[in-house]
């Protein structure tokens, strides 16, 4: 892990930081009282900040000591697997390097595409299986913003093979199995952060991950 202080990793100008601080202050004021812990609220407020949608105050759920487990995994440099490259592109590479976290996305790999076609399944499912085969899933972090089938495959591996990620950020968006997949993971022992219902996506998944990086680094406001 780098010794660089958290503020050096923010890569923001003073004006940019002031605008972001003002935005978070507005979110805090307009959101009003809530039952989230300080660390949980760091996640929720960043999701609201990314979407201007205050419904996430109620639909963002945490389970099985998610924040502690996820932050600890980040601090020890656990691998992070994401379901689509859009999430990888949105992540702050400097902050990931600070913690020694490597990000992986397998959905477009040639072998994943070929195996998905052979098995008549989705690339997202096959990508989860590849992550598991490489030892990245058990004890690692998995972030899903688009593919409910990936979340369901993680649940299956947990129930059938005892696989236990340190944290799953399950925020797939959509109409087919998006809501249902989140309910499934909430019924397991997997540490999870989910947005109940149909809403989700890469943008809020990135926001949640950046919040976790802030928690892991003690950079809370």
Structure tokens at 149: 């089938």
Q: Which residues contact 195 (CB under 8 A, 6 or more apart)?
A: 47, 56, 59, 60, 61, 171, 182, 204
Of the candidates 165, 168, 220, 166, the one whose C-alpha atom is nearest the C-alpha of residue 194 is: 168
| Residues designated catalytic | 49
H or E element at residue 129: helix 123-133
Q: Note the Cα 218 to chain centre separation in Å.
A: 18
Q: What are the CA-CA distances from residue 92 to residues 13, 85, 172, 202 (Å)?
A: 15, 13, 21, 14
Of the candidates 166, 117, 163, the one whose C-alpha atom is nearest the C-alpha of residue 143 is: 166
Structure tokens at 167: 């944290």
C-beta atoms surrounding 205 within 10 Å: 30
Q: How far is Cα 192 from Cα 70, in angstroms, rounded to an integer?
A: 9
Of the candidates 219, 218, 172, 221, the one whose C-alpha atom is nearest the C-alpha of residue 193 is: 172
């Amino acid at each position: 892990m780098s010794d660089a202080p958290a503020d050096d990793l923010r890569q923001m100008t003073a004006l940019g930081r002031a605008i972001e601080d003002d935005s978070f202050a507005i979110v805090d004021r307009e959101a009003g009282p809530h039952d989230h812990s300080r660390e949980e609220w760091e996640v929720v407020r960043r999701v609201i900040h990314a979407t201007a949608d205050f419904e996430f105050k109620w639909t963002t759920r945490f389970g099985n000591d998610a924040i502690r487990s996820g932050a600890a995994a980040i601090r020890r440099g656990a691998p992070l697997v994401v379901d689509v490259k859009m999430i990888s592109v949105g992540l702050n590479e400097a902050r990931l390097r600070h913690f020694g976290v490597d990000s992986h996305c397998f959905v477009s790999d040639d072998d994943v595409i070929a195996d998905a076609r052979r098995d008549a399944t989705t690339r997202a499912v096959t990508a989860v299986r590849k992550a598991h085969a490489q030892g990245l899933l058990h004890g690692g972090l998995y972030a899903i913003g688009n593919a409910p089938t990936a979340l369901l495959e993680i649940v299956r591996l947990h129930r059938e093979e005892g696989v236990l990620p340190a944290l799953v950020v399950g925020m797939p968006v959509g109409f087919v199995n998006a809501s249902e997949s989140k309910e499934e993971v909430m019924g397991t022992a997997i540490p999870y952060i989910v947005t109940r219902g149909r809403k989700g996506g890469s943008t809020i998944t990135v926001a949640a991950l950046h919040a976790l990086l802030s928690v892991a680094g003690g950079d809370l406001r």
